[in-house]
A and B are shown apart, each in its own frame.
Chain A
Amino acid sequence: MLALAETRFSFVGDEYIYAEISREMSVSTSFKALAVTRELHARTIPGIIDICPANASYLIRYNPDIVSPYDLLDYLKEIDLTKSRPEALNLTSRIVEIPTWYNDPTTREYARRFKDRNESPHFSDFELVMKSRGFTDEQAFINDHASTPYLLTMVGFILGTAWEFPLLLPPDGVFDIPKYKSPRTETPRQAIGMGGAFTVVYPVASSGSYQLIGITPVPVYHPEQKLAEFKDSMFLARPGDIWVHRPIGETEYYSILTQVENGIYRYRTKNFDFSPEQYAQEGKAYIDSMMKGF
């Protein structure tokens, strides 16, 4: 059931207010973060600079020369309360397909190069994730990962990196994949990583601490804005999107890469009004109806 505890607010430095909905990750906490921050975005509040929804929290950056931190805190608490009822959490969303080459040679090579910074130098990142998730068969793990739709609970890190949280959890609940002990200094562009319960696509070459499990030929950050999905924004991810990974092999990877380079690739998408309340009640049946025809 949807049940939310009281949000804990705290001042962070002199320009940020951090609202912690929960210390544990769950889908309902991120629906609440999405609902509150969408409401804040819709109002144009003087003095507010950034509104960042996150997995189990949200962060507000403000200018204390314009708005008193204490008054803003009271204001935020008021809005937070209005989004505590399940029916206030409904969300216009869209499903987006991310073609994924699992356990590809590029990310395997990066995992090998940075193994000394990882939990165990004896396993590849992919093996470590499989083991942590209780799989021994590569194909079984891939099937499991690709048959799960993921909710984008947070966008950030760098240039449109989206945190994908599984909408269908295994019977034993939220899993927790360990991250690198010290971050990699390099990650290839469009590599796919897992950490905690999350999957991410790295938008550009960057540092990173998630375990690398594959790579996608499609951009999630596209400053040239040549592809149709990027007409209005350089970033594919919108908090509240639902992303699905479709397994592909080497041939299709390079074929899609060419389509992307020629500016003709079209993402498979579908718009959907998501009801967190119905999802909480019906679970897999609701997700199945959502995925029908996709």
Chain B
Amino acid sequence: MLDVIKPGLHTTVQDLGRDGFYHLGVPPGGAADKYSFQIGNFLVGNPAHYAGLEIRMLGPTLLFTKRTLIAITGAPTPCFINDEPVPMWQCLEIKAGDVLSFRFAQQGICTYVCISGGIHSPEFLGSQSTYIVHQKPECGYKLEIGGKLMINEPLPGAFKHAGRFLPESFRPSFSKTAELHATLGLAIHRISDEGVRVFLDSEWIVSTESDRIAYRLSGGPISFEHTVQTTETDDYSANVVDLPYPVGVITVPNPKELIILVSDATAGGGFVTIGAVISSDLDTLNQCRPQTTVHFSAVTMEQALRLRAEKKQRLASAAEYLTT
């Protein structure tokens, strides 16, 4: 059992998400930085998908009522067991009665706590991932003061992993600037050539209104193609016939704003779209803090598949390092 002494800013149970319900408006969800999350599971000897905790900016204070193993990965955060600093990216042994606490993350957004055997919480449509709509969990679990969270038994033999760690070379980097690869298309015909050039050439600043649903960025201005006005009130050209929004889609609600949909994406809408961030860069985007400077570069399908394969290889190498 985990007793929640302090919940942190926004701490939720996440796994690798739920597939197959997007056509009903249920987004895939799951850990926002899947690379860091999976490494956390590998460190404690879990399969990649076991449910753990996602912390955003400020972590919780948790009392463990049984002996287990944990690993803390993702955004660099000062973390403590019984007020003693402990390292991240390492498999840590926890005794019954130990208290885990955090200070504000120094960089990035999402820090993960993975626990040997995983967290025991109800599934919704095949996943334990927490999906929050309007600050209320529609499923899963968001930590609250006084809350209790069941954790499973550590995997048999897990304690022999205590102390193992992942070297820096396998860890993601965190910075004040980010380069994101995107395929262009969708409703790009509604953006002028000059608008596409501005999108690719200019710097975009991550805004504070960014969360697990969407990232908002400001910059531009991106000019639209002139369209025929259909009604007297329609003097605005950022609308198209509503379409399904892929995760990673870059929408342009107005010339100076981009909204990129992420894990808990709203599945469709009518804003002009210019393209989509490729899947292997979504972890990077989800770790961008407000004020991060983002630059986009256009890639072809072949390049996107190559970057995907490279990322998969990086994760496989890290897993291999930890298991040999």
| Interface residue ranges, A against B (CB under 8 Å) | 10-16, 18, 22-25, 37, 49-59, 61, 64-65, 69, 119-120, 128, 131-132, 154-161, 163, 175-179, 181-183, 186, 195-196, 198, 203-207, 209, 223, 235, 237, 239
Contacts and interface: CB of A to CB of B under 8 A. Distances in A.
A156 B301 contact: no
Contacts of B239: 176, 178-179, 195-196
B279 A15 contact: yes
A98 to B, nearest CB: 17
B241 A24 contact: yes
Contact of A158 (B185, B267, B312): B267
Given A13-B279, A18-B244, 20 more contacts: A12-B275, A14-B280, A37-B23, A49-B19, A50-B21, A52-B22, A52-B268, A54-B242, A56-B241, A69-B305, A119-B236, A154-B268, A156-B22, A156-B268, A159-B138, A161-B267, A176-B231, A182-B257, A198-B242, A209-B270
A13 B268 contact: no
B233 A13 contact: no
A183 B189 CA distance: 23
Interface residues of B, number: 56
A163 B301 CA distance: 31
B233 A119 contact: yes
B26 interface: yes
Interface string B130-147: 000110101100000000
6 contacts: A23-B240, A57-B243, A59-B246, A61-B22, A154-B268, A186-B134
A13 B19 contact: no
Given A158-B133, A204-B133, A163 B234 contact: no
B241 A196 contact: yes
Interface string B260-275: 0000001111100001
Contacts of B249: 12-13
Nearest to A182: B253
Nearest to B306: A14
Contacts of A132: 231-233
Nearest to B22: A50
Interface string B222-233: 000000001111
B305 A176 contact: no
B135 to A, nearest CB: 9
The B interface is mostly helix, strand or loop, or mixed, namely mixed
A223 B19 contact: no
A34 to B, nearest CB: 11
Nearest to A173: B230
A9 B262 CA distance: 23
B185 A11 contact: yes
B243 A54 contact: yes
A60 to B, nearest CB: 10
Interface string B200-234: 00000000000001000000000000000011111
A196 B305 contact: no
B242 A154 contact: yes
A237 B246 CA distance: 20
B305 A55 contact: no
A157 B267 CA distance: 4
B25 A159 contact: yes
Contact of A10 (B186, B244, B280): B186
Contact of A13 (B236, B246, B267): B246
A86 B258 CA distance: 39
Contact of A196 (B236, B242, B266, B278): B242
Contacts of B186: 10, 12, 18
B266 A12 contact: no
B7 interface: no
Contacts of B24: 155-156, 159-160, 235, 237
A12 B269 contact: no
A11 B243 contact: no
